Structure 1
Amino acid sequence: MLSIILLSVSGLANLFLGFLRSNRVLLPAVMLVLAVVLAINLIGFDTGQLADWNASPYFAGMLTFDRYAQVFTTVMVLTVLLLLPFSQKFVQDGNPNLAEFYSIMLFSLVGAIMMVSYNNVLVLFLGIETLSIAMYVLAGSDKSNLRSNESALKYFLMGSFATGILLFGIALIYGATRTFDLAQMGVAVRALPAADPGMTPMLYIGILLMLIGIGFKISAAPFHFWTPDVYEGAPTVFTAFMSTVVKTAGVAGFFKLLTIAFGGDTSGFWLPTLTAMLVLTLLIGNVGAVAQTNAKRMLAYSSISHAGYLMLALVALNSETLSKTAIFFYSLAYSLSTVVSFGVLALVHDQRQRDDYDSLNGLAKTNPLLAFAMTVSMLSLAGIPLTGGFFGKFQLLSAATAEGYIGLVVFALVMSAIGIYYYLRPIIAMYMKPAEEGTAAPVPVTMLQSAVLVVLVGLIVLMGVAPGLFDGFLA
């Protein structure tokens, strides 16, 4: 709860800092706030079990800040903290709206934290909308770029429809169970088919509508169509935020909903639908990424495919502890790798004004650090050993295997093999292709950005070499 309060107050205070007309104050101030929130969250780790859903209730139990919420809050706050240095171009260009952009990011982070700490479906909805509305604004923040304006409009229109579908689903489920509380909803859902068979169709339709609404938020197919255009058009820093924080919050919130409210015998109804979404997501994400020539669009389809891998843990939710561990580890590894990839792309775009693969040509000669960091990031996203992405996928596949989904595991492995192809394309461009005329100049990188890249690469490798060090988060 203290994280939400600090971020909310800091977001408001940051708006007043904007009156100073000094952008150089804003970035350190926001990073300091995030560092404090991260430290408080780490220090506040309780000794309870991860499955203790009723720890530290607030607002009549509508919010619960248990170990589960603390773990995923840590992942999201750390992600934003390490992402912010790559927004330094906004500081240097004297962007008059920088204070507003940072405040919106802080407010959206509040929504994300609500999505992992809710204990009431209405709070889940409020968290999703707090996060989504902020993303609509940030996607269109580059007003002079027609692609940015287009991405914001597409995101807003499709997001509005998805919100309506989600809210309609919540209303139907409330009509069937007469409660918004997760625990009470779980009891009512399990008893409903025998106690009141007439309400069962309403309940099932409501569950399907919620699957659609949340599936849109995590870019799961077939509700993914907005993702490539929005990711390509939005400013790269905000695209990275969208690809990491939004997905982590969405999957963690989704898992909590399915485990508490819709588990047990009810899972037999929605599980085939979720499995079909998983297969489509992996197929469309990986095959779609192969056909891309733009690096940002490739990462957009990559983001879709990673939603599919994370959904393996949702399908295997009967192995609850194993699935939670897998979601945490994979979310952290994926977020760190994605921040590196989008961070490097942002720096290259600022210099070369392009996002295609050719914009990376010769980067190993002009900027060895950027090329090495990008290489580690691509290898981690591909799931190559000695990176965090490898053990993240290993844990997800282990959770699915433990529940007997051998066919899904084999399919996921085949899709992962396809992913190696398009993740190697940026590496080939950086190390094996000469820089084009006019792009041979080194990309400017600040000391802070270099230090953050080194930290990110170190964490990715550490997760791949010594994954056991991160088990303490879930003790």
Structure 2
Amino acid sequence: MLPIVLLSVFGIVNLFLGFLRSNRALLPFVLVVLALVFGLNLLDWNHAGSLPGVFDSPYVAQMLTVNNYSVAFGGIVLLTALVLLPFSRSYVVAGEPNLAEYYSVLLFSLVGAIMMVSYNHLIMLFVGIEILSISMYVLAGSDKRNVRSNEAALKYFLQGSFATGVLLFGIALVYGATGSFQLDGLAAGIAAPANASLQPMLYVGVLLLVIGIGFKVSAAPFHFWTPDVYEGTPTFFTAFMSTVVKTAGFAAFLKLLVVALPGTSAVWLPTIIAMCMLTLLLGNVGAAVQTSAKRMLAYSSVSHAGYLLLGLIAGRGQLQGPAAQGIFFYSLAYSIATVAAFGVLKLVADQRQREDYAGLAGLARTNPLLAFVMTVAMLSLGGIPLTGGFFGKFFIFTAVAGQGYIWLVVFAVLMSMVGIYYYLRPVIAMYMRPAELGNDTPIVVDGFQSATLVLLAMLTLVLGILPGFLSGLL
């Protein structure tokens, strides 16, 4: 698990670079670090194993494992952070005094995300979630002079702490019923229980686990924190939160249900189905009535949690089957499109001081590139053909239909139609509405950011035209 070690070490090194008081050195350094870690992560492909050396002691052996599943989802997390970083350049230009700390917290949060996709032990899952969550609490309140940012951090911290308590209580109950924290030990304990009278405690523990992780991935009815926190958090960190956290969360969720808890599917499966339907309904309807583009993307993130929950429903008993492949592809397509959308929104908000649809009005005339990239991102998030989002939904819908849940697929398709309505609103504003007085000047975009936006748009289109490149990885 060299990526975890390097991210931890370089996160500390980056803090010392902050003493140089030169923000211009920080962004290139972190970009190089993430590119290096991303490459080293890929070198673990087809090299399954556990932590070597000192970690081979009986107390910590097999707590983290390396396989193609962890490499694939770890790659999405690292790639997302890598393509998101160029949009932090405004902090460099403005001379943000805490930039070194922010970048280090981002690197540390990636440690938690990789733990979540690589864990083989419930304690390691808990540690990964907490590393990622605490980092997000800090970043949500990073704009200390903004009341909305302070409110977002406080809400996220208080509600997240409560969800953490629920998750930890669930882990304790499951351990008490099975006598193991290891995923394979949990599955064996459930299949052949030593004490049948502990079954009710096991079922309560499983439900608490589902609730705790459901909060982390913004699944309804545990999504109530998402709109306010996403809106109040600085846009750059909102993009990170809505992609990295969701990808790591669902990778961990699928692994838990498929590897450790298949014997309790009679308990968690109806719960996941109910959560899925409620998430799709509230997420899409909530997004449709928003007037703020950023708040719309927050509710949109909730709705995408619903589509990913469909993958959990179809993934019973198969960690590397069609459902896992669908979640992987969907997470990649969603992350790329979301980074592009938030990247454009941040550039607009930085210079027009607006995050509503009116702030996007006339963008096609003043900044055709930004309008094009935003359009591609919206079409992908809406699941329009020839974009990565279309095949993401297609793979998940196919996997769910293969399990016999045709009615659930029909419901998800209907909710997707609602999504098309609100995803087209920014496009209509950019191409069909004139810019308001004072918002008709071009947005300044440097060459690095422009190249990143073009790359994101091209990746989205390539995933929609040639999905076969990645469709057989898992």
- TM-score w.r.t. the length of structure 2 is 0.97
Output aligned runs, 1:87-166, within 5 Å: 87-166=88-167
Amino acid across the alignment from 2:100: A
Cα offset, 1:133, TM superposition: 0.2
Cα offset, 1:24, TM superposition: 0.5
- The whole-number CA distance in structure 1 between the counterparts of 2:3 and 2:451 is 26
- The whole-number CA distance in structure 2 between the counterparts of 1:186 and 1:297 is 40
1:302-328, Cα deviation, whole Å (9 max, x unpaired): 000000000111011136210110011
Output aligned runs, 1:198-237, within 5 Å: 198-237=197-236
- The whole-number CA distance in structure 2 between the counterparts of 1:9 and 1:56 is 17
Amino acid across the alignment from 2:71: Q
How many residues of Structure 1 are paired with residues of Structure 2 in the alignment? Answer: 466
Which residue does the alignment assign to 1:314?
312
SS of the aligned residue for 2:450 comes to: helix
Say whether 1:273 aligns with 2:271.
yes
Cα offset, 1:473, TM superposition: 3.4
Output aligned runs, 1:9-408, within 5 Å: 9-46=9-46, 59-192=60-193, 195-264=194-263, 266-318=264-316, 320=318, 321-408=321-408
- The whole-number CA distance in structure 2 between the counterparts of 1:122 and 1:110 is 15
Which residue does the alignment assign to 2:454?
454
Cα offset, 1:56, TM superposition: 6.0
- TM-score w.r.t. the length of structure 1 is 0.97
Amino acid across the alignment from 2:166: I
Which residue does the alignment assign to 1:433?
433
Amino acid across the alignment from 1:401: A
- The whole-number CA distance in structure 1 between the counterparts of 2:108 and 2:464 is 32
1:91-127, Cα deviation, whole Å (9 max, x unpaired): 0000000000000000001000000000000000000
Q: Is contact 2:277–2:306 with CA below 8 Å preserved after alignment?
A: yes
Q: Is contact 1:319–1:403 with CA below 8 Å preserved after alignment?
A: no
1:421-457, Cα deviation, whole Å (9 max, x unpaired): 0000000000000000001111110100000011111
Q: For the aligned residues, what is the CA RMSD?
A: 1.1
- The whole-number CA distance in structure 1 between the counterparts of 2:126 and 2:156 is 17
- Name the stretch that deviates more: 38-47 or 276-285: 38-47
Q: Is contact 2:259–2:317 with CA below 8 Å preserved after alignment?
A: no
SS of the aligned residue for 2:473 comes to: helix
- The whole-number CA distance in structure 1 between the counterparts of 2:277 and 2:192 is 31
Q: Is contact 1:310–1:327 with CA below 8 Å preserved after alignment?
A: yes
- Name the stretch that deviates more: 237-246 or 38-47: 38-47
1:282-310, Cα deviation, whole Å (9 max, x unpaired): 00000000110001110000000000000
SS of the aligned residue for 1:338 comes to: helix
Q: Is contact 2:184–2:260 with CA below 8 Å preserved after alignment?
A: yes
Q: Is contact 1:387–1:464 with CA below 8 Å preserved after alignment?
A: yes
- The whole-number CA distance in structure 1 between the counterparts of 2:253 and 2:28 is 33
SS of the aligned residue for 1:473 comes to: coil
Cα offset, 1:471, TM superposition: 3.3
- Name the stretch that deviates more: 315-324 or 77-86: 315-324
- The whole-number CA distance in structure 2 between the counterparts of 1:32 and 1:225 is 37
Which residue does the alignment assign to 1:414?
414
- Name the stretch that deviates more: 219-228 or 54-63: 54-63
- The whole-number CA distance in structure 1 between the counterparts of 2:436 and 2:406 is 47
- The whole-number CA distance in structure 1 between the counterparts of 2:316 and 2:254 is 11
Q: Is contact 2:51–2:61 with CA below 8 Å preserved after alignment?
A: no
Amino acid across the alignment from 1:74: G
- The whole-number CA distance in structure 2 between the counterparts of 1:246 and 1:167 is 19
Cα offset, 1:396, TM superposition: 0.4
Cα offset, 1:44, TM superposition: 2.8
- The whole-number CA distance in structure 2 between the counterparts of 1:160 and 1:143 is 21
Which residue does the alignment assign to 1:51?
none
SS of the aligned residue for 1:298 comes to: helix
- The whole-number CA distance in structure 1 between the counterparts of 2:316 and 2:155 is 37
- The whole-number CA distance in structure 2 between the counterparts of 1:200 and 1:91 is 55
1:332-383, Cα deviation, whole Å (9 max, x unpaired): 0000000000000000000011100100000001110000000000000000
Q: Is contact 2:50–2:61 with CA below 8 Å preserved after alignment?
A: no
Q: Is contact 1:56–1:66 with CA below 8 Å preserved after alignment?
A: no
- The whole-number CA distance in structure 1 between the counterparts of 2:473 and 2:40 is 14
Q: Is contact 1:319–1:399 with CA below 8 Å preserved after alignment?
A: no
- Name the stretch that deviates more: 266-275 or 19-28: 266-275
- The whole-number CA distance in structure 2 between the counterparts of 1:177 and 1:416 is 40
- Name the stretch that deviates more: 23-32 or 33-42: 33-42
- The whole-number CA distance in structure 2 between the counterparts of 1:88 and 1:70 is 29
1:204-258, Cα deviation, whole Å (9 max, x unpaired): 0000011110000000000000000000000001000000000000000000000
- The whole-number CA distance in structure 2 between the counterparts of 1:66 and 1:351 is 44
Cα offset, 1:55, TM superposition: 5.8
Cα offset, 1:47, TM superposition: 6.4
**Sequence identity (%):** 64
Amino acid across the alignment from 2:192: A
Cα offset, 1:191, TM superposition: 1.8
Cα offset, 1:472, TM superposition: 5.4
1:144-201, Cα deviation, whole Å (9 max, x unpaired): 1100000000000000000000000001111111111110011101222xx4221001
Unpaired segments ≥5 residues, structure 2: none
Amino acid across the alignment from 1:343: G
1:368-415, Cα deviation, whole Å (9 max, x unpaired): 000000000000000000000000000000110010011110000000
Amino acid across the alignment from 2:381: L
Amino acid across the alignment from 2:200: P
- The whole-number CA distance in structure 2 between the counterparts of 1:373 and 1:150 is 31
Q: Is contact 2:166–2:212 with CA below 8 Å preserved after alignment?
A: yes
